[in-house]
């Protein structure tokens, strides 16, 4: 994987993480948080898809690495929703 491929992968992960934050309605952090959420969302989404025997809907091949776009967005939205429930202040 070249440096350009890595940068493209980080941009795609950041966009997926940002979309996950927008869907869940909870936004903390900036660009680095969105990138991390994109990768964590991809892991959670793929795990969920494999557990339920669902296909990879839209995977982008970047430098020989398949990055699942749809499952990354769904996984990051679920992860951000759980984080927002945990981190809410109790009044």
Report how many domains make up the chain. Answer: 1
Domain that holds residue 61: 3-87
- Average pLDDT of the chain, as a whole number: 84
Q: What percent of the chain has pLDDT over 90?
A: 2
CB atoms within 10 A of CB 60: 13
Instruction: Give the residue with greater pLDDT, 87 vs 77.
Output: 77
Tens digit of each residue's pLDDT (9 = 90 or more) over 28-59:
778 888 888 888 888 888 888 889 988 887 88
32-44 as b/e: b if 16+ CB within 10 A: ebbbbbbbbbbeb
List 66's β-bridge partners, or say none. 61
Q: What is the pLDDT of residue 91?
A: 52
Which three-class secondary structure state does DSSP give residue 36?
helix
Q: Residue 1 pLDDT more than 80?
A: no
């Amino acid at each position: 994987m070249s440096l350009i491929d890595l940068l493209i992968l980080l941009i795609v992960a950041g966009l997926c993480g940002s979309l996950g934050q927008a869907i869940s309605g909870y936004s903390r952090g900036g660009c680095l948080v969105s990138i991390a959420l994109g990768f964590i969302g991809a892991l959670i989404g793929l795990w969920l898809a494999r557990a339920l025997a669902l296909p990879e809907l839209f995977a982008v091949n970047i430098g020989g690495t398949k990055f699942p776009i749809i499952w990354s967005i769904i996984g990051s939205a679920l992860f951000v929703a759980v984080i927002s429930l945990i981190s809410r202040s109790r009044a």
